Amino acid sequence: MLHRKVPLLPACLILPALLAGSQLCGVEKVTFAPHTFTIPAGYALKRVAAPPLVERPIHMCFDDEGALYVTDSSGNTDKAPAQLKDPKHRVLRLVDRDGDGVFDDSTVFAEHLPFPEGILVHAGAVYVGAPPHIWKLRDTDGDHVADERTVWFDGGSIGSCGNDMHGPYLGPDGYFHWCKGAFEPQSHVLGNGRTFKSSASHIYRARPDGSDLEVVITGGMDNPVGLAFNETGERFLSGTFFDLSGPGKRDGILHAVYGGMYGKKHERVLSPHPASGGLLPILAQMGPAAPSGIVMPKNDALGLRGDLLCANFNLRRISRHRLTRDGSTYSADTSSFLESDQSDFHPTDVIEDADGSLLVADTGSWYMICCPTSKVAKPHVLGALYRLQKEDPVAPKDPRGLELDWTQPSVAWLSDARPEVVKRAIGVLANEDNIDDLRSAKARLPALWTLHRIPGGPARKAVRTFLNDERSDVRAAALHSVGLWRDPAAVEVLIGLLAGGDAPQSRLAAMALGRIGDRRAVAALLEAGSGDLDAFLRHAVIYALYEIGDSGNLPADNPLGKQVRLMHEVDQRNAPQPALPKIEPADVVEPDQEQWTLQKTRLDHLAALLPKGDSGRGRKLFHNAAKSLCLTCHVLGDQGVKFGPDLTGIGSIRSERDLLEAIVYPSSSIARSYELVTVRTHKGETGGLILRDTVDQVILASAPGAEQAIPIREIKSAKYANVSLMPRVFDGLLTPEEIADLVAYLKQEKLPATAPAKE
């Protein structure tokens, strides 16, 4: 389907952002109705695509020519398995024909896709992650419409929320990476021939042709989502339910190192996997932000190079995370970079354009799948694409190098100041004829990654020379390369780098030695692991010893050896563990129009009192457990009982109307992971919240402290209910004025705009 070309867009789409106020404390207010955005001073915002060009954009990716491919939702809010049976989403191709930074043409590249959760344009094909598959879409006749559709990867599972697949993403190593979430079991044959079965979350990677499939990390989190890479190959992962260890914690960003095991604690899915010790710590805590797309700019046009920018679906913002070295890992200083004042602003992706500006996708308010903050779908509230750039930007000449003759590429292009030219040159120069020139190239890091993509002994020999480069970032990338290729000729040099005293270098050297698997490295690894190490370096040493597999010769009293032997014991367990039966979704209940009208009328009446609510009175009421009962089930800060949803920072993600509805009609909006589950065994039925599930038991609770352990083997079926465990009694137990006070207090309970670097 071809959208009508729009020759002249409204002024609000193409003029510099309208300021709603002057600079205040280093920020500016920018209005694009109905949104008023807060952005840093010195930056400008444009709305560069809106309906009808896009309607509900989710993820974005440019091709080499500058066309933007966008996954665009139909507004379908069915659970993911239903969407797989009746696919209604599409991929759009947007073009900026006059080069003013605003898109003025949109065509449908592909349609009838299941729920899309990632997009990558690579080597003339468009890859779309749509659970349970990664689809490869090709336009073979040049009409900009996909006429060939094949399954590039089959995950083999699809849960209700569709968390089973996010991606793919292209790393600087040339591998495709993607994320598996939820806890549905999957089985895959890895590149080493081993069959890998797991219900845990993972990052996977494989070459673009699908070969060399392997596991990068393992986790107990519900939903790993976005991946970004720095120039040396380090990975950073955004997602949800990473850490539930304290009030206000939940989502965030991880430094995703090879072989690492991450939160949250989830014994049933993590216990079959060898772990190097405790769960590796989170990099940036973000609370219930629902982080989605994430990017690390390679261009410094905005002064953001090396920072992480992340879309916060629930918080209506793009967050900025400034990274600093911290031992062998990083610390992050988190702040809000762009934020809307409207609850209907839901950013899902942020990417970098060739000129260094950032594009932000706002998907609108259609989404409600497993998301209580958007429980009422509003598919009529459409989204848009925005561009963030510096005020009065200097437009770079030919930022994609389209005027270059790409049929005759030059190694000198690796030194080009335009990141997109360098990125493209790495791909086209990766052949054996260029090895000698690449070895002596001035642009050491791009030359290294180009050599990395060339198979064969001569390229491996050339890469080994980069291990002794004077620049630490070049050495780091070379360590990634020799580890990925498992280059045995690098072992002696790696052992020297392991003891070099630089913590990140030691971590990467240990990683490479473990992947190569040479027993000559064991003594050096034991020596490297004998000191006071940070968690990431300690993990790398232990995981390397585990991969080498010489546990029988490790000292009996060495703590590293004990951990490695424990990991091998986990590997050797043959007893099958009971699988948790699939929890069936709640019955679909047709809305009772009369009941809905009564509830809406009551909510409208109570909402009229909200402006008179007093947060001070509300605070006293909230903390009066005998009166309000709030703290008997909820945590807020350091007070309360952890049974119902954590209310720390609740005002940042729920509107006044949402809070009101949750108090008066709690079954209208049931928070994720707090659904009532009915479990049937041969002894009968029982219901409650699933507090946790172990290797062989499910722990249910029907009230705080009322726990019941049910053996998994005895469960015949399990099903979610439509009714909340929170009773519908508060409209009566409390006066309308007290409810307004309570809402006022909860609304001012917000997450901070900045967060500590690391805990």
For the segment 334-354, the average pLDDT, to the nearest whole number, is: 96
**Residue 457 CB-density burial (10 A; 0-12 exposed, 13-18 middle, 19+ buried):** exposed
Whether 134 shows a pLDDT value over 90: the answer reads yes
Q: Are 205 and 246 in contact (CB under 8 A)?
A: no
Residue closest to 544 by CA, chosen among 566, 562, 526: 526
pLDDT at 653: 83
Question: Is 1 exposed, middle or buried, given 0-12, 13-18 or 19+ CB atoms closer than 10 A?
Answer: exposed
Residue written as token pair 């339910």: 241
User: CA angle at residue 626 from 625 to 627, to 5 degrees?
Assistant: 90
371-380, 540-549, 672-681: range with highest mean pLDDT: 540-549
The pLDDT > 90 percentage for the chain reads 71
- The least confident of 294-303, 328-337, 351-360, 388-397 is 388-397
Instruction: Pull the structure tokens for residue 305.
Output: 């190079």
The C-alpha atoms of residue 534 and residue 491 are separated, in whole angstroms, by 24
**What confidence score (pLDDT) does residue 592 get?**
77
Expressed in angstroms, the distance from the first to the final Cα of the chain is 51
In sequence order, what are the beta bridge partners of 336? 319
Q: pLDDT grade, residue 704 (50/70/90)?
A: confident
pLDDT band at 9 (very low <50, low <70, confident <90, very high): very low
> Where residue 584 falls among pLDDT bands split at 50, 70, 90?
confident
Q: In the prediction, which pLDDT does 605 show?
A: 93
Structural domains in the chain, CATH included, are: 11-390 (2.120.10.30), 411-572 (1.25.10.10), 587-676+721-747 (1.10.760.10)
- Asked if 675 and 726 count as a contact pair (C-beta separation under 8 A), the reply is no
Q: Which residue has the tokens 């673009």?
A: 208
pLDDT of residue 232: 97
**Could you tell me which residue, 481 or 751, shows the higher pLDDT?**
481
pLDDT at 154 over 50: yes
Two structure tokens written together for 680: 């049937």
Nearest to 228 by CA among 350, 327, 388, 399: 350
pLDDT tier, 15 (very low <50, low <70, confident <90, very high otherwise): very low
Question: In sequence order, which residues have a C-beta less than 8 Å from that of residue 40 and are 6 or more positions away?
Answer: 26, 27, 28, 337
pLDDT in tens, 662-680: 899 888 777 777 888 999 9
What's the pLDDT score for residue 755? 46
* Among 623, 601, 606, 594, residue whose Cα is nearest residue 663: 606
